Amino acid sequence: MKYRILGKTGFKVSEVGFGAWGIGGGMWGSVSAEESLKALHKAYALGVNFYDTAWVYGDQKTRDGQSEKLVGRFAKEVGRDKVYIASKVPPMNFTWPARPGVVASQVFPKNWIVGKVNDSLSRLNIDCLDLMQFHVWQDSFVE
């Protein structure tokens, strides 16, 4: 596995990451926790140390955050200090992709961001995320 530094973080992350959308179930169908954990561990054994998840990676009706829960469980099993975990703040209007003309403060107000970060930390059962991203983006947000 090759590794590279993630931006200005100093984190040495695997060039191949584990996208955890599929292990959440939901639109991907029924996925067992055991099979999902096997996949997470197999990726780790192959050198993957970067795991990308999100609250909405799970049943869209219950919004149970199954993917985050499994990634958190996996991180505890291998050692939290051995993996980098990224998650995402969903837009407050739950619209993917971001609609043109919508300003960042409408879909990502401060209290929403803080609440969703805390929710993710709780589901992951960790104290700190390595990377938290907006789940939608448009360039006009920087204005």
Which of the residues are catalytic?
A: 57
The letter for the amino acid at 134 is F
125/141 Cα distance (integer angstroms): 31
- Non-local (6+) Cβ contacts of 107 within 8 A are 91, 92, 93, 95, 98, 136
Question: Does residue 109 have a cis peptide bond before it, meaning omega lies within 30 degrees of 0?
Answer: no
Strand-pairing partners, residue 84, are 50
Runs of H (alpha helix) within 11-136: 33-45, 66-78, 104-107, 110-124
